[in-house]
Amino acid sequence: MCGIFACHKHPNVHQFKPQALQLAKAVRHRGPDWSGNVISNDTILTHERLSIVGIDSGAQPLVNEEETIFLAVNGEIYNHRILRKQLDADTKFKTHSDCEVILHLYPKYDIDTPKMLDGMFSFVLYDKVKDRTIAARDPIGITSFYQGWSSKTPGAVYFASELKCLHPVCDKIISFPPGHIYDSATGKTTRYFQPSWLDSTKIPSNPVDFEKVRTTLEKAVRKRLMAEVPYGVLLSGGLDSSLIASIAARETEKLKLTSGVTNGTVIPHELVGISEGDDLDTITALPELHSFSIGLPGSPDTVAAKKVAAYLGTVHHEFNFTLQEGLDALRDVIYHLETFDVTTIRASTPMYLLSRKIKAQGVKMVLSGEGSDEIFGGYLYFVNAPNKEEFHKETITRVNNLHLSDCLRANKSTSAWGVEARVPFLDKEFLEVTMNIDPQDKLILKGERLEKYILRKAFDTSDKPDQKPYLPDDILWRQKEQFSDGVGYGWIDVLKDTAEKMVTDEQLKNPKPEWGADAPDSKEGYWYRCMFDEQFPAQCAPTVMRWKPTWSNQTDPSGRAIDIHVAKYDEK
């Protein structure tokens, strides 16, 4: 990940520059490798870089040969080699950066440029000749991105990777909508990502193609191994992360054979090209795949993760945290996550602690399993879906809101320590395949069909005895465990118990008037909201969405509050 801060049409941009650099510094944790900035006319772009691809020559903001187009990007463009190949032969590239291709696509495709990209990204591009700024965010919102305005500088528009850059200068802030592009020439933000599955009134009827589900996920993982730095996988021991780890382990073995990795020696970046079929060839900076897990000692996830790692042969790193360490990190977690949502904070805290450990290992990029539960209806509350139509609509809602929940958590928990998380389940092609499956095949049927049955079955090779299984059966068919539960059931317990001491009954009954209709419904939520308000002004709160299960009257969003959970809460 990287960090962006930009302002278009500032009334005194040169005088504003020192403050702009300070605001950009607020997200230097996202990009600790280098800083850059450029001013053109009355627009300033700043960039804090985390170097993953083109590490020797990809400093930003990027500029074209004529010095008329300037670009600041946060993210990765997985098809950049293919796009380079498709551009005119006389196109001059200055760097090996995957992001530079955007500079050369813009003159040809204008605001359709994001449609050409396969990756996770948010970018701000300034056209000096037209005095025009465009800004865009990837289809699902994997990278965090915000837009702001200030009553003190009417006519100016601001962009940043995190709220902490904007709230000192903006009194109105929004989360930039995923799959959209902003154009200063019109002042409009329009949707460019229009997949077939987006219309929730159209219920798909396509039968499951298990082989296609498997091969498209394998392809999604393969393209995300594009890196010139050490990488690994986040491994909770649950289905999603374990499948990603399994595929990554297989791909890493293939890369050793096909990309010239021998005895730990890696071939140079510039020698790796594009295959005849326009598939991405990539390299690995590690001869072995490293996996990372965290939990309280003996937690369900760490036990399962250790088993998966041993089965796959990864170099496994298991970290434990204490309840007190988790509690001590809460305020910092809220600062980096920029949320007061209970579910997000519960799950982000161990992920935040783990990311620090990963950074200490010298790893810059990890693969993670976010998105699967939204696509396949994997959360246990989906068992209460009244019919397949409502089930399908809920999956679309959840996918559309990922930028306010699990993508926000994965992006900011890792970026807090200069680590990048990539999410294969949210690959555009994989989404196109899996969101167009008849939802009848996704339904959870008590005693008959486990949640995410389609995904499990796609990687079930029990009918192929000559083929090594992707995962052990007890992992492939392990029940969904929300991350905040799986790290150890004592974690949520201590959060509730501590909140009980921090917030009185009277406070919960009489929330702050400025919270309006968004008042917390639990002491834990009240406690988090107070910590948020201490660090962020009121204009930041509307960017937060509180995650709640649907078709349920439960106040606790934990999966253990659903009666089909094998370790459900005791009834009191």
The dihedral built from the CA positions of residue 505, 507, 513 and 519, taken in this order, carries a sign that is negative
Ligand-binding annotation for 415, yes or no, is no
Ligand-binding annotation for 368, yes or no, is yes
Q: Are 279 and 287 in contact (CB under 8 A)?
A: no
Q: Are 410 and 421 in contact (CB under 8 A)?
A: yes
Q: Please give the average per-residue pLDDT across 11-20, as a whole number.
A: 98
Q: How many CB atoms lie within 10 A of CB 265?
A: 8
pLDDT-wise least confident of 41-45, 52-56, 386-390:
52-56
**One-letter identity of residue 148:** G
Q: What Cα–Cα distance (Å) separates residue 128 from each residue in 4, 111, 125, 351, 402?
A: 19, 16, 10, 41, 34
Question: Is the pLDDT at 275 greater than 70, yes or no?
Answer: no
Percent of the chain whose pLDDT exceeds 70 = 91
Q: Are 37 and 61 in contact (CB under 8 A)?
A: yes
Q: How far apart are CA 289 and CA 232, in angstroms?
A: 6
Q: Which one is predicted more confidently, 230 or 19?
A: 19
Q: Are 461 and 437 in contact (CB under 8 A)?
A: no
User: Side by side, which strands form the sheet with 132-137?
Assistant: 62-63, 69-77, 119-127, 132-137, 180-183, 188-191
Question: Is the pLDDT at 273 greater than 50, yes or no?
Answer: no
- Catalytically active residues, by annotation: 2
Write down the pTM of the prediction: 0.93
CATH assignment, 210-481+489-561 = 3.40.50.620
Ligand-binding annotation for 122, yes or no, is no
pLDDT of res. 252: 87
Question: Is the pLDDT at 265 greater than 60, yes or no?
Answer: no
Domain with CATH 3.60.20.10 in the chain: 3-191
> pLDDT digits over 230-241, tens only?
889 999 999 999
Q: Which residue do the tokens 């209709």 mark?
A: 517
pLDDT of res. 282: 45
CATH assignment, 3-191 = 3.60.20.10
pLDDT of res. 59: 81
Q: Please give the average per-residue pLDDT across 176-203, as a whole number.
A: 97
Distant-in-sequence, close-in-space partners of 203: CB < 8 Å, separation ≥ 6 = 388, 389, 392, 438, 439
Q: How far apart are CA 455 and CA 183, in angstroms?
A: 39
How wide is the angle at C-alpha 470 spanned by C-alphas 466 and 474, nearest 5°?
105
Q: Which residues pair with 318 in a beta bridge?
A: 293
pLDDT of res. 228: 78
Domain with CATH 3.40.50.620 in the chain: 210-481+489-561
pLDDT-wise least confident of 209-213, 505-509, 551-555, 564-568:
564-568
Q: Please give the average per-residue pLDDT across 385-402, as a whole number.
A: 97
pLDDT, mean over the chain: 91
Ligand-binding annotation for 125, yes or no, is no
Question: Is the pLDDT at 284 greater than 60, yes or no?
Answer: no
Ligand-binding annotation for 98, yes or no, is yes
Q: What would you report as the CA-atom Rg of the chain, rounded to the nearest whole angstrom? A: 23
